[in-house]
Structure 1
């Protein structure tokens, strides 16, 4: 009889085990085709769950987007550093959920056992890079030092990851970005070219390199690398504006226009892009386009608008529409009375628009009086032109008054 009961027990246990194996297999199949909710239901049917099942549940919840449930199951799966896969995925999800302190603890535990794994250092760097510091200005220096010492330095972790794996692209990108913020362009370029040796199309690294050249003023190189980003399909407003500005600096106005028009596709109401296009179209003598973008810049920009008004006045000046030119140069000066370029432009517009020569003469005289004692007045080409025009107007007025007598 005892043997019979033992037999029945083994049969039932075997059936239960078979059911659990079946539930696990079904769950895996459902997960593989993206039916995460059904996969979770199947895994939940397993009564005697172990770390492996909890890991599958965590992954299914993460794929579904139910991240809080994913965290719960990852925690059950990551019972120690021997469960390295679960702990690694758990730590990464903690970063995603902005639980940086907890993520630091997870990766620090992993590093204590696997201290030659470069990615664990990289992930700990991620955890601490945006971690808020619980620091108060009222605390003593010793307390502050102690608190800071408890937070691992992200840059040190990134550099440690690179030391362990010189081709770790994400760590290289983080360190290069750090040096870019410090304006250490030589280090940026050294790290970037190191990264590109093993991964020539790393767009994050190429972007950092392009910005390095941009900010150090190497226009040709900046153009080369921003164009590379476009060729790799990385078309953004930021890239278009930076590339447009580089072409602007090289006086390649048609190329600059192409880039700023590309930038407007991302932000059609961007006042800066419209204002820049207005200036560029002035340079290419496409004055109708300059007028259109100048008006859009005024429409879309908040105060102040003196630069946009001034650009419009220059457009109308070149179109010889003097009334409109005077209208916008006056608006520019209303907002910024010390806009020297606008003051001189107003005198030129008045010279073509006003019939009263003495009123025009006074504008030149006021401009000269305001700026002739400046530190660099003798090198001021605009001041020289104003003086020449003043002297000529004086002769014209004198001759006209003599003829009247």
Structure 2
């Protein structure tokens, strides 16, 4: 009799276990194909920690972060040391900007498993989001110490030092990353920017060219390439790339302006004038540099009337720019014959900017004295 009961109990357990396994297989299949709501219902019938973890993941995938967090917390209440649940919950806290909770979990994980670079990296991300810069850098460096090929940490370190214009520090981490991932677009771009932001345009150029070789095509890249070619006096390549910028964005005022500068450097004055005028046409008006550039072109053509008009337009845009008004004075000095008219311009400069005691102020003071002497002797 006892033997029969034991057999029945074993069969019942086997049946229940088989049914449970069947539910999990169905739930896993539903989860894998993105049918998350039905997967949640299937997992709920099992009730194990593994199934509860999958429920948390399903809610996360749906975007119901509040329920996902609750489920992760439920899992950890049953097994507080389950690292996968802590890690995924920490990333979810980070995603939902609960930085305090994320920091707590990732700090705990780095202490439990200090040899895991991902834990250090995400702790660094948590600090970065909170603008705790020194802490974030320390965490990224810990990730790299643990795994010298941890590309995301190397990237964040390189990016920080590029932003700080600390080229040598940036290149240490960037070059280390490129040693393992030589065609990584983000790292190559960082290396180009490390030189570019340090005004080393010729050194930046081959790295921007490498991005193009790897299939990158965008407004940003062509703009950087064009400017590097411009600084390297490869004017035809600069023109080609600025025109590519305009194919991407025909309202890019900087590209029009720089095309004007390229043509000006290439002594093609009419084309320079055309593109700078196009820059004016497409942008919201703060046009000081464009008007100053057109004034300079007019001066090179000995068209003093136009130069004076452009400088006056620039002055209207920025009345506080002393250099612009000084140029008005010097062009007016050349353009007008009457010393009294010339004097009014210089006196206005002295009234507005004369207290700076710089080179321009001294030159204006000297010229005012000369003009007053000239007027005095003309009156006699």
Same-fold call, TM cutoff 0.5: yes
Unaligned runs of 5+ in 1: 134-150, 352-356, 381-405
1:366: how far off? 7.3
State the partner residue of 1:117.
116
Matched residues in 2 for 1:182 and 1:76: separation? 43
Pairing 1:39–2:39 present: yes
Instruction: Note the C-alpha offset of 1:263.
Output: 3.6
Q: Partners in 1 of 2:87 and 2:211 — Cα distance?
A: 32
For residues 260 and 341 of structure 1, what CA distance do their matches in structure 2 show?
Answer: 32
Question: 2:277 is matched with which residue?
Answer: 295
1:196 corresponds to 2:178: yes
Query: Could you say what secondary structure the match of 1:89 adopts?
Result: helix
| Cα offset, 1:25, TM superposition | 1.1
Q: Provide the residue aligned with 2:150 in structure 1.
A: 168
Q: Which residue of 2 aligns with 1:77?
A: 75
Aligned-residue offset at 1:257: 2.9
Q: 2:161, 2:169 within 8 Å by CA — same for their partners in 1?
A: yes
What CA distance in whole angstroms lies between the structure 2 residues aligned with 1:324 and 1:43? 79
Cα shift readout 1:287-330 (whole Å, capped 9, x = no counterpart): 66544543342234344322112334455677898876664343
TM-fit CA distance, 1:375: 4.6
1:200 deviates by 0.8
**Distance in structure 1 (CA, Å) of the matches to 2:316 and 2:134:** 54
C-alpha change, 1:340 and 1:228, in structure 2 (3 Å) is farther
Paired position in structure 2 for 1:29: 29
SS at match of 2:323: coil
Please give the residue correspondences for 1:215-226 in structure 2 after superposition, counting only pairs within 5 Å.
Answer: 215-226=197-208
Alpha-carbon distance between aligned partners in 2 of 1:235 and 1:320, rounded to the nearest angstrom: 42
Q: Which residue of 2 aligns with 1:18?
A: 18
Q: Distance in 1 between matches of 2:229 and 2:155?
A: 26
Tell me the CA shift for residue 215 of structure 1: 2.3
Supply the distance in 1 between the matched residues of 2:42 and 2:326 (Cα, whole angstroms).
Answer: 75
- The corresponding residue for 2:375 is none
**Equivalent pair of 2:311/2:324 in contact (CA under 8 Å):** no
Shift in Å at residue 223 of structure 1? 0.8
Aligned to 2:47: 49
Cα distance change on mapping 1:201 and 1:68 into 2, 3 Å: farther
Q: 2 CA distance for matches of 1:84 and 1:343?
A: 71
1:321-340 alignment runs, 5 A limit: 327-335=309-317, 336=321, 338-339=323-324
**TM-score w.r.t. structure 1 length?**
0.71
Distance 1:170 1:96 in 2: 17
Q: TM-score, normalised on structure 2?
A: 0.75
Displacement of 1:191 in angstroms is: 2.0
Give the CA deviation at 1:259: 3.2
The corresponding residue for 1:384 is: none
Moved more, 211-220 or 314-323: 314-323
Other-structure match for 2:102: 103
Secondary structure in 2 matching 1:216: coil
State the alpha-carbon separation in 1 of the partners of residues 330 and 36 from structure 2. 68
Cα distance in 1 for residues equivalent to 2:14 and 2:131: 53
Question: Within 2, Cα distance between the matches of 1:361 and 1:233?
Answer: 63
Corresponding residue SS for 2:251? coil
Cα 1:152–1:297 change in 2 (3 A) is closer
**Conserved? CA contact 1:316–1:325, under 8 Å:** yes
Task: Map residues 384-395 of structure 1 onto 2, 5 A cutoff.
Answer: none
1:222 Cα offset (Å): 0.7
C-alpha distance after superposition, 1:211-267 (max 9, x if no partner): 221122322211111222233344444433333322222222332233333444554
Pick from 51, 66, 75 the counterpart of residue 68 of structure 1.
66
Alignment check: 8 A CA contact 1:347 1:364 kept: no
Structure 1 contact 158–174 (Cα < 8 Å) conserved: yes
Give the match for residue 90 of structure 1: 89
Q: What root-mean-square deviation, in Å, do the aligned CA atoms of Structure 1 and Structure 2 show?
A: 4.2
How far apart, in 2, do the equivalents of 1:174 and 1:305 lie?
A: 36
The verdict on how the C-alpha distance between 1:56 and 1:376 changes in structure 2, with shifts beyond 3 A counting, is same
